Structure 1
Amino acid sequence: MRRPQPPAADKLVAALDIGSSKISAMIAEPDAEGRLKILGTGQRESRGVKRGFIADMDKTEIAIREAVEQAERIAGTSIDEVFVGFSAGGLVSTLANVELPVGGRRITDADIEGLLDEGKESIDPEGRMILHALPALYTIDGMNGVKQPRGLHAERLAVDIHVIAADPAPVKNLDLCVRSAHLGVEAIIASPVAAGQACLSDEERELGVALVELGAGVTNVSVFAGGMLVGLKSIPMGGGDITDDIAAAFGARRTEAERIKCFYGSAMTSPRDNHDMIELAPIAGGQEGVEANRITRAQLVTVIRQRLEHLIAQVEAALKDLGFSGPFGRQIVITGGGADLKAIADYAQGVLGRAVRVGRPAMPGLPEAHGGPAFSTLAGLAQFAASDALDLSAGFSTAGSETKPGGGLVSRLIATFRTQY
């Protein structure tokens, strides 16, 4: 059973977020209270990841090395192991409940240990890989919501264990890719767990909130209640699809389509949209006789909203499947790179009929460039690594059993030398 403790003040925490559009790294140092001091960050374009899955091992490995080395240069130190985020589809969420008799006496540490051991034994992976087995609130004689039962008298003690699992192959590919970059894998963390840690308050998680991560290739919809993640669904669509729609509609390169989406795009219309003109370079730009395209902002917004309507409709269906409705389902937080789109919260609020806000990582000391919603998972990975969260997932089949170990900075420098020469 893994009982992680807050890292010592001199122990560094390293996080690695491997997404469909970017790969980012962070090195931080926790103090005695677990607060993190950001030492260095790095980022590279992701060229080998599609819909959150590793599609090109070599390209992804190179991007991982470059992002980590950039963070190491800024931090002035090297790292050997990282906490890695898993954002691909195929995540499943279940709840295991176990109960043991206490006999009316005071609950001891041994009782809690025995209960958690019993809970771990009751988990059936069903052929999947267990990423998390997180004990939530305890129940004493039918009274729910007990955070710490030690020292209380009870006849029966129970606990809910939230289990998050994934298909083995994508997790093993992710693990192999990181280790091929000569880094050890401390743990693989589900993206909703990390993002929720970064941009949701304790009160939101307690009262009930839905977290919508709009990534480049995948949108993860997760629901939190009673202080824990209670359900999640993945949608194979994201902000990258909006970029592709713009590129196809106006005959532009993806990089140009991404640029005008970020600078001029919006989820809401305005009276000036028909008068504002946007110039964009065509795919065949640079050839003689090929002129730049000129479109109105209204045309751009129309393309964006067509994709958004489809995406938000799927988000609404996912929320319904997860039981996020009624008085319980009132608050939604949108995060991820897609949440940078102008007026996305207002649009989603109008369609979904619920209060919607954009979630940004609540982490002091983050560089301004990494303080937006696109870096919620990265910040959450570092916060999760520095926390004392109890996770029972150790002991189940792990991804690294068939892969080569990491080797630290020297091995990565040798590998970089070989690829360049």
Structure 2
Amino acid sequence: MSRRLPPPPGRKLVTALDIGSSKISALIADPGEEGALRILGTGQRESRGVKRGFIADMEQAEAAIREAVEQAERIAGTNIDDVFVGFAAGGLASTVASVEVGIGGRRIERQDIDELLRAGRDSINPEGRMLLHALPALYTLDGVQGVRKPLGLHADKLAVDIHVIAAEPSPVRNLDVCVRSAHLGVSAIVASPVAAGRACLSEEERERGVALVEMGAGVTNVSVFAGGMLVGLKSLPIGGIDITDDIASAFGTRRVEAERMKCFFGSAATSPRDNHDMIDLSPIAGVEEGTESARITRAQLIAVIRQRLDQLMGEIACALKELGFAGPFGGQIVLTGGASELKGMADYAQGVLGRAVRVGRPRLLGLPEAHGGPAFTTLAGLALFAASDELDLRRFGDGEKTVQKGDEGNMVQRLISLFRSNY
């Protein structure tokens, strides 16, 4: 691969780091003068020391992170200092704090927005969890929802729903320490659904209402977007690696062989031909000389895959119902993540969930072909998030990491300063 042109001296680059259960990938990009990202380098390594999105072995995970970032640096021809890190582990919690202040029919000033946020400090309480995001979901003026910029408008009452995303403190701290141990600064730890939604959903989809299902190796995150913002999410501790393990157990083969069978011969759909297509097995103990290797039909393989998919889709359906994405309020569902690349997945999910389903890929120009699939949606989204000026609490390392009762004031002050900078 030819080396890309370096950015102009002094320009701040953005670096995304996606730490998953199956792979660790990095991306370095130049935001450019007009904000359009130019990809400078990418790197990828097999994930080590990570289980279900959690850091399980600090030393192994640190080494894999370092290797992925160094590969991206070599291709980009530059060294980076800070990264935006994706958090895809389970335990994400989503709440909405709704607050309202009286305006009295006059023009809304900046101090009115400040007062609105101060009024929300008692409502925003992650209950000992670590705050990752606090996103203004919807402004409401006199009962009219969906106002993006209330500054300068007249109203009797001004309200806002603040969507709070938080996680258990220990996994986030472990992730932060692991990245810093690789001699990298952490600009922000970003919830995976926030990043993935930015990368593969159109603005119209986010406005109209859409469900995003990230089917990762160890975790499946179900999130709902409406009014342009993420308004609810739920994490499921199940993913593509469970399908791989089922195949390995059912046919007595190694995990790497089971993964190969899943990718090359697996499918979520069935056909009459599956009973005639044969697949050679590579048993764990190997094949003795003079004996034929065991064989199975493709139908047998798909039966094992479908059994786990049925369980996963059932849990996804329950999560969507719990999030209010059901009946007339539901809309299209977008699948992304490595497990969504299984052949026939969209049609299978559409039949089970009863809604239009498509597979989402990252909308980021210049991505290498090897990094352009659904498995790299979060990586691309992290880069887009890093280059954006989206209003978000994304500062870590200031001594205010964990938000508990009594700490809401600090958080609201940060929100106020961010709102001011946005207007």
TM-score by length of structure 1 reads: 0.90
What displacement does 1:101 show? Answer: 2.4
Q: Which amino acid aligns with 1:41?
A: T
Q: Which residue of 2 aligns with 1:83?
A: 84
Q: Which amino acid aligns with 1:262?
A: C
Q: Which residue of 2 aligns with 1:376?
A: 377
Residues 124-163 of structure 1: matches in 2 within 5 Å?
124-163=125-164
What displacement does 1:288 show? Answer: 4.5
- The 1:139/1:333 distance shift into structure 2, 3 A limit, reads same
Asked if 2 retains the 8 angstrom alpha-carbon contact of 1:129 and 1:398, the reply is no
Q: Secondary structure at the match of 2:120?
A: helix
Moved over 6 A (4+): none
Q: Which residue of 2 aligns with 1:318?
A: 319
Q: Which residue of 2 aligns with 1:336?
A: 337
- Name the CA distance, whole Å, in 2 between partners of 1:257 and 1:284: 14
Q: Secondary structure at the match of 1:334?
A: strand
Q: Which residue of 2 aligns with 1:250?
A: 251
Per-residue CA distance 1:155-193 (angstroms, 9 max, x = gap): 222111110000101101111110111111000000111
Q: Which residue of 2 aligns with 1:32?
A: 33
- Name the CA distance, whole Å, in 2 between partners of 1:260 and 1:68: 30
Q: Secondary structure at the match of 2:70?
A: helix
Q: Which residue of 1 aligns with 2:348?
A: 347
- Name the CA distance, whole Å, in 2 between partners of 1:98 and 1:313: 35
- Name the CA distance, whole Å, in 2 between partners of 1:294 and 1:9: 59
Q: Which amino acid aligns with 2:60?
A: K
Q: Which amino acid aligns with 2:81?
A: D
Q: Which amino acid aligns with 1:296?
A: T
Asked if 2 retains the 8 angstrom alpha-carbon contact of 1:16 and 1:26, the reply is yes
- Name the CA distance, whole Å, in 2 between partners of 1:337 and 1:280: 23
- The 1:392/1:188 distance shift into structure 2, 3 A limit, reads closer
- Name the CA distance, whole Å, in 1 between partners of 2:233 and 2:399: 22
Asked if 2 retains the 8 angstrom alpha-carbon contact of 1:268 and 1:343, the reply is yes
What displacement does 1:398 show? Answer: 4.9
Q: Which residue of 2 aligns with 1:172?
A: 173
Asked if 2 retains the 8 angstrom alpha-carbon contact of 1:175 and 1:399, the reply is no
Instruction: Say which structure, 1 or 2, has more relative contact order (CA 8 Å, 6+ apart).
Output: 1
**Structure 2, gaps ≥5 residues long:** 1-8, 403-423
Per-residue CA distance 1:10-65 (angstroms, 9 max, x = gap): 21000000000000000011122221111111111112111111111111000000
- Name the CA distance, whole Å, in 1 between partners of 2:109 and 2:350: 47
Q: Which residue of 1 aligns with 2:239?
A: 238
Q: Which residue of 2 aligns with 1:12?
A: 13
Q: Which amino acid aligns with 1:282?
A: P
- Name the CA distance, whole Å, in 2 between partners of 1:306 and 1:121: 46
- Name the CA distance, whole Å, in 1 between partners of 2:121 and 2:377: 30
- Name the CA distance, whole Å, in 1 between partners of 2:10 and 2:135: 25
| Residue 229 of structure 2 corresponds to residue 262 of structure 1 | no
Residues 92-103 of structure 1: matches in 2 within 5 Å?
92-103=93-104
Asked if 2 retains the 8 angstrom alpha-carbon contact of 1:285 and 1:291, the reply is no
- The 1:357/1:380 distance shift into structure 2, 3 A limit, reads same
What displacement does 1:375 show? Answer: 0.5
Q: Which residue of 1 aligns with 2:120?
A: 119
What displacement does 1:277 show? Answer: 1.2
- The 1:80/1:350 distance shift into structure 2, 3 A limit, reads same
Asked if 1 retains the 8 angstrom alpha-carbon contact of 2:132 and 2:393, the reply is no
- Name the CA distance, whole Å, in 1 between partners of 2:59 and 2:18: 17
- Name the CA distance, whole Å, in 1 between partners of 2:292 and 2:28: 45
- Name the CA distance, whole Å, in 2 between partners of 1:372 and 1:140: 41
Asked if 2 retains the 8 angstrom alpha-carbon contact of 1:92 and 1:166, the reply is yes
Asked if 2 retains the 8 angstrom alpha-carbon contact of 1:9 and 1:29, the reply is no
- Name the CA distance, whole Å, in 2 between partners of 1:392 and 1:42: 28
What displacement does 1:125 show? Answer: 2.4
**Structure 1, gaps ≥5 residues long:** 1-7, 401-421
- Name the CA distance, whole Å, in 1 between partners of 2:146 and 2:10: 32
What displacement does 1:292 show? Answer: 2.8
Q: Which residue of 2 aligns with 1:5?
A: none
- Name the CA distance, whole Å, in 2 between partners of 1:69 and 1:293: 42
Per-residue CA distance 1:81-114 (angstroms, 9 max, x = gap): 1000001111010011222222322222333244
- Name the CA distance, whole Å, in 1 between partners of 2:272 and 2:393: 55
- Name the CA distance, whole Å, in 2 between partners of 1:266 and 1:259: 12
- Name the CA distance, whole Å, in 2 between partners of 1:399 and 1:45: 30
- Name the CA distance, whole Å, in 2 between partners of 1:61 and 1:51: 16
- The 1:367/1:35 distance shift into structure 2, 3 A limit, reads same
- Name the CA distance, whole Å, in 2 between partners of 1:284 and 1:217: 27
- The 1:286/1:20 distance shift into structure 2, 3 A limit, reads same
Q: Which residue of 2 aligns with 1:105?
A: 106
What displacement does 1:117 show? Answer: 4.4
Q: Which residue of 2 aligns with 1:412?
A: none
Q: Secondary structure at the match of 2:246?
A: helix
- Name the CA distance, whole Å, in 2 between partners of 1:33 and 1:116: 31
Q: Which amino acid aligns with 2:218?
A: G
- The 1:82/1:121 distance shift into structure 2, 3 A limit, reads farther
- Name the CA distance, whole Å, in 2 between partners of 1:40 and 1:392: 27
Q: Which amino acid aligns with 2:65?
A: I
Q: Which amino acid aligns with 1:182?
A: H
- Name the CA distance, whole Å, in 2 between partners of 1:174 and 1:399: 13
- Name the CA distance, whole Å, in 2 between partners of 1:99 and 1:323: 23
Q: Which residue of 1 aligns with 2:412?
A: none
What displacement does 1:339 show? Answer: 0.6
Q: Percent identity?
A: 74
- Name the CA distance, whole Å, in 2 between partners of 1:279 and 1:72: 40
- Name the CA distance, whole Å, in 1 between partners of 2:99 and 2:56: 40
Q: Which residue of 2 aligns with 1:419?
A: none
TM-score by length of structure 2 reads: 0.89
- Name the CA distance, whole Å, in 2 between partners of 1:341 and 1:9: 43
- Name the CA distance, whole Å, in 2 between partners of 1:15 and 1:197: 14
Q: Which residue of 2 aligns with 1:411?
A: none
Q: Which amino acid aligns with 1:76?
A: G
Per-residue CA distance 1:358-410 (angstroms, 9 max, x = gap): 0111111111111100001100111111111111464886559xxxxxxxxxx
